């Protein structure tokens, strides 16, 4: 069963470095798994804990953030914030019985197309080994969830 499992992987890429690295990987015709869904963000520091958890809620089996090299974030310390948020998500996942390895932080500069492709290959293999994330996927709009007023 695990051999036929094709994980869904969400990748938050900062627009300055890692998205350019993904672009370069494409231009170099480097192969990386089609399991990757890239979301371009201004900076990995813009990715909130809730964005990562929502990706899992909506069906991702793994999520990684790919930002500029440490010390080279275009917003100075955004990728340091991202590192801390990824650490916190790992703790949250562990506390609810989900493997913390399902979330990761990588750093790829604009010239690191091959390394970006390798991150995609390695992470996809990691998630393939872990198997599908079993949870009840949310199909409801958050507006449909009843809220108790005054609770």
* Residue selected from 68, 110, 120, 133 as contacting ligand FES according to rule CB under 6 A: 68
Residue 27 · residue 53 · CB < 8 Å: no
Q: Pattern of binders to ligand FES over 73-102, x per CB under 6 A?
A: xxx--xx-----------------------
Nearer to ligand FES, 45 or 62 (CB): 45
User: Does 14 engage in binding with ligand FES (CB under 6 A)?
Assistant: yes
User: Does 19 engage in binding with ligand FES (CB under 6 A)?
Assistant: no
Least Å distance between CB 40 and ligand FES?
Answer: 11
User: Does 56 engage in binding with ligand FES (CB under 6 A)?
Assistant: no
Nearer to ligand FES, 14 or 36 (CB): 14
Nearer to ligand FES, 88 or 137 (CB): 88
Range list of H helices, the chain = 18-27, 49-57, 78-95, 113-130
């Amino acid at each position: 069963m695990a051999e036929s499992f094709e994980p869904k992987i969400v990748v938050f890429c900062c627009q300055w470095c890692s998205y350019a690295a993904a672009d370069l990987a494409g231009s170099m015709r480097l192969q990386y798994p089609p399991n990757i869904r890239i979301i371009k963000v201004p900076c990995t520091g813009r990715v909130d804990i809730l964005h990562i958890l929502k990706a899992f809620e909506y069906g991702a089996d793994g999520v990684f953030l790919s930002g500029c090299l440490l010390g080279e974030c275009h917003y100075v310390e955004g990728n340091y914030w991202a590192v801390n948020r990824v650490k916190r998500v790992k703790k949250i996942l562990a506390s609810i019985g989900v493997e913390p390895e399902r979330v990761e932080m990588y750093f790829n500069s604009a010239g690191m197309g091959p390394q970006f492709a390798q991150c995609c290959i390695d992470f996809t293999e990691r998630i393939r080994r872990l198997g599908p994330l079993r949870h009840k996927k949310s199909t409801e709009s958050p507006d449909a969830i009843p809220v108790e007023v005054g609770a």
